[in-house]
Amino acid sequence: MPMSFPPALRLSLDLLRCPAGHSFDIARHGYVGLLTGTRAISGDDAAMAQARERFLSTDTYAPIRKAVARLATDSAPEQATVVDVGCGTGYYLAGVLDQVPGARGLGLDTSVRALRSAARAHERAAAAAWDIFRPFPLASGVAEVVLDVFAPRNPVEFHRVPRPTGRLIVVRPTRRHLAELRGQVPAMVTIDPDKEQRLHRALDPCFEAAVTEQVEYTAPLTRQEALDLVGMTPSARHLSHTDLNDAGPLPDHVTVSVLATAYRPR
């Protein structure tokens, strides 16, 4: 089922055109390249995106996806529009769309490699290359649900894009998340102990928390899954094969521990 685009944009062959004459390529892999000017340099590179796709295909993170979908469907009408900011490969967006049969989704990410997967993650999802620290290429009040799962945040745009009755769903790790891997691979990026306080300071002017779910469980890991789990995180930018080899045997299980909160706009 093809996605419809905002009235300001018109589809023409492999381009989107706006009334001002700007054009945006639709890549052969199915995502829309909306970025112009200076390109964002963050986001998954090819190796990170491949590791993410392999690991998420094991459904080790399925309980997190179910929690996100549950929080989204609690308030989303049947014809909801869902925007996934920092969507990666589209795993969580697809999980929400599966639970809301009439909904459509849009994933935004800077990673071209991840967007190739996101563009085909669900038949009712579209994907676009965008720097999420810029104002989003969306009209105000167009979404019923905005997702931010393990992704950077843009509080001003998070508040502008949803309807007054919409929800922002934010998923972030606790300090216990992946503790076994962090203990075995010291070079992994640590979790800031002030992360929760910073989140609340950033969102409190615009949002109030409606409900928070803690998702925590122990998951078995093969060595390849452990390598992929490290390789899909920001830690991959700071680690080499030597670091992983020096770590010795990797753990055969890991603690998954996250908080998922649905916020309502103030």
User: Picking from 26-30, 119-123, 159-163, 217-221, which range would have the lowest pLDDT averaged per residue?
Assistant: 26-30
Mean pLDDT of the chain: 85
Per-residue confidence (pLDDT) for residue 216, from 0 to 100? 98
Tens digit of each residue's pLDDT (9 = 90 or more) over 88-139: 999 999 999 999 999 988 899 998 889 989 989 998 988 888 899 999 888 8
- Which range of 119-128, 208-217, 246-255 scores highest in mean pLDDT? It is 208-217
Can you tell me the distance from the alpha carbon of 124 to that of 23, in angstroms, rounded to the nearest whole number? Answer: 23
Q: What per-residue confidence (pLDDT) applies to 37?
A: 56
The closest alpha carbon to 74, from 178, 212, 188, belongs to 212
CA distances (Å), origin 64, targets 60, 82, 113: 9, 17, 23
Report the C-alpha gap between 4 and 104 in whole angstroms: 9
Q: How many CA atoms lie within 13 A of 23 on its CB side?
A: 8
Beta-bridge partners for 129? 33, 109
Look at residue 13 in the predicted model and tell me its pLDDT. Answer: 39
Q: pLDDT tens-digit profile of 5-16?
A: 444 444 333 444
Confidence (pLDDT) at 263: 97
The percent of residues in the chain predicted with pLDDT above 70, rounded, is 82
pLDDT at position 10: 42
| Token digits of residue 198 | 């910073």
Beta strands in the chain (DSSP E): 10-12, 15-17, 23-25, 32-33, 81-85, 104-109, 125-129, 143-149, 162-173, 207-220, 253-265
The set of residues, in sequence order, having a beta carbon less than 8 Å from that of 57 and lying 6+ positions away, is none
Backbone angles phi, psi at 211, to 5 degrees: -160, 145
Given a cut of 70, whether residue 168 has pLDDT beyond it is: yes
